[in-house]
Structure 1
Amino acid sequence: MKNEIHPETPDSSERPRNTLDKVIFTFGNTISLLFLFTVAISFYEVLMRYVFNAPTMWVHETASFLGGMLFIYGGIYALSINKHVRVVLIYDLVSDTTRRWLNVFHHIMGLLFSGLLSWAAYQMVQDSWFTPLGDLRLETSGSAWDPVFPALVKGMVFATLCIMFVQFSLHLIQELNGLRKRKDV
């Protein structure tokens, strides 16, 4: 339910809930400008390729990399402002107390999900950042330009999942505190 007095103002469930969420939200709004940069370099590529017959070697991989990184960040951004996917058909029909318990269940499942995926992402990072002997060697794309974007994307997936685990932990604590305060009233 949106704020009736100021419809453009999000209700309290759509705002960052803690300091970590505020940092994620603010940083996300700032880096969203990279979408404009991606459009600009893609336009540059089209211009160079079709007008000057001089295609670039770096634009496609850079645009894909930036888009992928922003998409990955979108997960923790959505969680920071409570805009993640949920079954609203059920969620909107139940009482506030039941919603809180559904939130607790969601946060516990989110902890399990992000914890297990963090472990899998860690294994991915190990394989893409280090040789079997343990020397640092970042995986590259294998193209003519050969940037280290695949290794960086895998590192971003790992870092984001770790942050998401912390977010779910903080949200679970906040939700349980809210349930406890309701019982005290």
Structure 2
Amino acid sequence: MSDRNVGDRVASAVGLVSRRIGELFSLLLFISVVVTVYEVISRYVFNAPTVWAHEITITLSALAFVMSGVYTLQRRDHIRISIVYEMLPARVQRVLDVVNNLVMLVFVGLLTYATYNQAAKSVAIVERTGTASNLPLPPIVKTALAIGAALLFIQGLAHLWQLARRRSDD
């Protein structure tokens, strides 16, 4: 087995993990809707509002949003000005893709470092929301943000590998 095959298999596995994460975390949006419906019924039908539903909904939505970046990058669905991009020769497109990935990796690497530090502090002090329910949700969200950033970085590396392996006539 050559090094190229190993790299391709790793890039493929990273892509699979990214897809599964996106699929799994998209379910959080459905759960968020269910919690919101529960809150509306509790509040307006039974006159018994919850103190936790809003925070849980925000947290679930935040987790889904954070992890959707990895899924979106894996599918190459982030926004680009395709009308200009598609007019360029394939070789220039490839150069732009490589430069774009390298710039993204720098920023996401810095984001990963910063979010890891914030998550570590939040977990260490068992940070809480400071609201009526005072749930310990900030460590969960901040840790997810750090993990999401790290996964985004790994997916970016996989894309860079795939770009390096792509033939110039592709």
User: By the TM > 0.5 criterion, same fold?
Assistant: yes
Indicate the structure whose relative CO is greater, using CA pairs within 8 Å and at least 6 residues apart: 2
Deviation at residue 22 of structure 1 after TM alignment: 1.6
Quote the Cα distance in structure 2 between the aligned partners of 1:124 and 1:26: 26
Task: Return the letter of the residue paired with 1:175.
Answer: L
What is the TM-score normalised by the length of structure 1? 0.80
Task: Return the letter of the residue paired with 1:182.
Answer: S
Residue 158 of structure 2 corresponds to 170
Deviation at residue 87 of structure 1 after TM alignment: 2.1
Quote the Cα distance in structure 1 between the aligned partners of 2:121 and 2:51: 26
Alignment of 1:53-72 (within 5 A): 53-72=47-66
Contact 2:25 2:68 in 1 (8 A): no
Quote the Cα distance in structure 2 between the aligned partners of 1:87 and 1:71: 23
Q: What is the aligned-residue identity percentage?
A: 31
Gaps in structure 2 of 5+ consecutive residues: 1-10
Greater helix content: 2
Q: SS of the counterpart of 2:33?
A: helix
Change (3 A) 1:20 1:118: same
Question: After the TM superposition, which parts of structure 1 deviate over 3 Å for at least 4 consecutive aligned residues?
Answer: none
Alignment of 1:150-161 (within 5 A): 150-161=138-149
- Across the aligned residues of Structure 1 and Structure 2, the Cα RMSD in angstroms comes to 1.6
Alignment of 1:1-185 (within 5 A): 18-130=12-124, 137-178=125-166, 181-182=167-168
What is the TM-score normalised by the length of structure 2? 0.87
Which deviates the most, 48-57 or 121-130? 121-130
Deviation string for 1:17-43 (max 9, x for gaps)? 722112221232233222222111111
Contact 2:25 2:67 in 1 (8 A): no
Gaps in structure 1 of 5+ consecutive residues: 1-16, 131-136
**How many residues align structurally?**
159
